[in-house]
Amino acid sequence: MTNDMALKKIKKNFWEKIFNYPSFNRRFWFALILVLLIFCIILSILLFINKINETSNQIAIINLIIQSATLVLGICATYYALRQLVETRFTGLDEAGMREIKRGHYSRAFEKWREAFYIRPEAGVFTNLCESLLLIGDYDNFDQYIQISQDDRFKKKIFQESSDQITLLYLRAVRHLLVKNQGEAEVQITEIIKITKDNSLLGFGWDFMDLRSSIAYQNVNGECKNIAENLISYLSKTILPNRKKDFEQGNFSSQANEQILENTNQNN
């Protein structure tokens, strides 16, 4: 990507300014606690003003407390019903995000997947979210989300499979290749090769067409473009055996064009 190209930045919403990870549970209980806190403050002021001198005032306040307790129980019951509703919304948001990214509406896709991830954290939604940030060119927010993925709680709960770790490493490698930071990209690729060999993974279920059709990727050239193409071929299991051997030995960038030519000759 050229340096003079204006990159679009995704603005943080209200909840992201408060929480690093504004999940549905955090948003719900934060709002509930805030309401209860305001109620307690108002109740304390009323008690202080009236000083509960008369029996009638005492009865009125007791009734208020009982009604408030009933309200809180109702809110808790509503939470579980609302939880079921947002689970259904999760599926709709995930599907909508996929449709938007196929249309090239990367910002809209990000918004859909961001809300879906805060409803139910899943590895697939998170990686799609991160890829949409790369296609937008918002590397700052991408780095922040990648930082979230390094949290031990997230690793144990979400990124349990080796394929999930490879996907994150792939996205990090692409992020550096898009800004022509070849050295950092090679560090991520080396780790990808190590995990792939150790776990004998059969394939990598990822649609690379979204990346290849983006303006950000089309602006990459030189060795970084060759490395990216070789990485995609390696992960999609379409790389030639001799090229695979070189790639796994650290020769990431050379012979990319020859590889494509050989594939063409074989098809003919």
pTM of the full structure: 0.69
**Would you state the pLDDT for residue 152?**
78
Report the chain (268 residues): mean pLDDT per 10 consecutive residues. Answer: 43 56 68 74 67 58 71 73 76 90 91 87 90 91 88 78 88 93 92 82 75 88 89 86 85 60 45
Q: Which two tokens stand for residue 17?
A: 């300014």
Q: Which two tokens stand for residue 229?
A: 């193409």
**Would you state the pLDDT for residue 238?**
83
Rounded to 5°, angle at Cα 185 from 184 and 187 = 65
Those residues with Cβ within 8 angstroms of residue 80's Cβ, 6 or more apart along the chain or in another chain: none
Residue carrying the six token digits 């080796």? 162
**Which value, to the nearest 10 degrees, does the dihedral of the CA atoms of residues 217, 219, 224, 227 take?**
40
Instruction: Provide long-range contacts, Cβ within 8 A and 24+ apart, for 247-254.
Output: 247/193, 248/193, 248/197, 250/186, 250/190, 252/186, 252/189, 252/226, 252/227, 253/223, 253/224, 253/226, 253/227, 254/226
Distance from C-alpha of 151 to C-alpha of 107, rounded to nearest angstrom: 25
Cβ distance 223 to 256 under 8 Å?
A: no
